[in-house]
Amino acid sequence: MKLTALGVYGPFPVAGGGCSSYLVEDGDTHILLDCGSGALSRMLRYIPLSKLDAVVLSHMHADHAGEIDLVRYALEFGQGNTPMPVFSPETASLKREAFAPVLTEDGMTATVGSLQLRFFAVRHAAPTTGVRITDQRGHALFYTSDTAYFEGLIDMARNADLLLADACLADESNPKALRNHMTGAQVIALGKAANCKRTLLTHRFGANPVYPLPDGADGVFAEEGVTYEF
C-alpha cells in the first residue's frame, strides 16, 4: 500500500500548502482520504479522477472536506465514475447525484477494491471517524483524523504498519484545544503503545507548523508530495 500526503495542514494552510488530504493506493485501488484545500489539483498529479474509487471524509470540517464539491463538479463534467462512493459520518450535504454517500459509524466495515476499511468514532468537536485500512497482505494504515487523545486509540492503531495521526498541538498548554486534537508527544506515545511500525505526525498547525519533538521520538512530520510505502 502507498500513502501520498497531498495536504498536511489544518485548520488552515501555510503559503503554498494544502489542508488534510491523502491519496491511498494499492494496485488499481485508489482512495482519496480527506479532501481539504488543494486536494483535487494535487491528486491529479498522481491519478486522473477516473481512477478514483472512493472518497473517505473523516469529518465535515472545512480543512478535511472543503473541496468535496470541487470533486462533485468535476464528476458532473464527466471526469470520473459516478456515483462516487463518499464515506462520511455526516452525509446530509452529500446527497447529490454524483455521489453515493455512505454513513460511517463506529465499528462499521467496508470494502473498496482490494482494501478493507474499518471506521472508529474518535473524539472531536464534530462527528468524526478515524479509519483503519488493510490490504490483502494484512498491511495496515490507521488514520486518527482529528481527535483528542484517549486510550481506545491504542487498540484502533494496534500493530499498524503506518500510523497517521493528528499532532496539531505543540504542547498541552491549551485545555480547550486538547479536547479536539493531540500533541506530538501524545502521538509518539500512541505509536509506541500500539506497536506501530512507523508514525507520521500530521495536521500541522498553519501558524506553527513544526515544533520540536521529544528526544528520541520515533516519528516524523508528514511532508506534502511525499509517498510512504508500507
Binding site for Zn ion (CB under 5 A): 10, 61, 63, 146
Give 199 or 202: the residue with its C-beta nearer to Zn ion.
Answer: 202
> Minimal distance in Å, beta carbon 9 to Zn ion?
9
Give the residue with the Cβ less far from Zn ion, 123 or 198. 123
Q: Which is nearer to Zn ion, 74 or 86 (CB)?
A: 86
| CA 65/CA 124 separation, integer angstroms | 15
Torsion of CA 196, 175, 170, 213, to 10 degrees: -50
User: What is the distance between the alpha carbons of residues 174 and 134, in angstroms, rounded to a whole number?
Assistant: 35
Closest approach of Zn ion to the CB of residue 89, in Å: 11
Q: Are 211 and 201 in contact (CB under 8 A)?
A: no
Neighbours of 158 (CB within 10 A): 14
CB atoms within 10 A of CB 166: 30
CB of 147 to Zn ion, least distance (A): 9
How many CA atoms, within 13 angstroms, populate the side-chain half-sphere of residue 74?
Answer: 18
54 vs 122, beta carbon nearer Zn ion: 122
Taking the CB of residue 12, how many other CB atoms lie within 10 A of it?
A: 14
State in angstroms the smallest separation of the CB of 20 from Zn ion. 6
Q: Select 118 or 204, whichever has its Cβ closest to Zn ion.
A: 204
Centroid of chain to Cα 175: 24
Give the nearest distance from C-beta 221 to Zn ion in angstroms.
15
How many residues would you count in the chain? 230
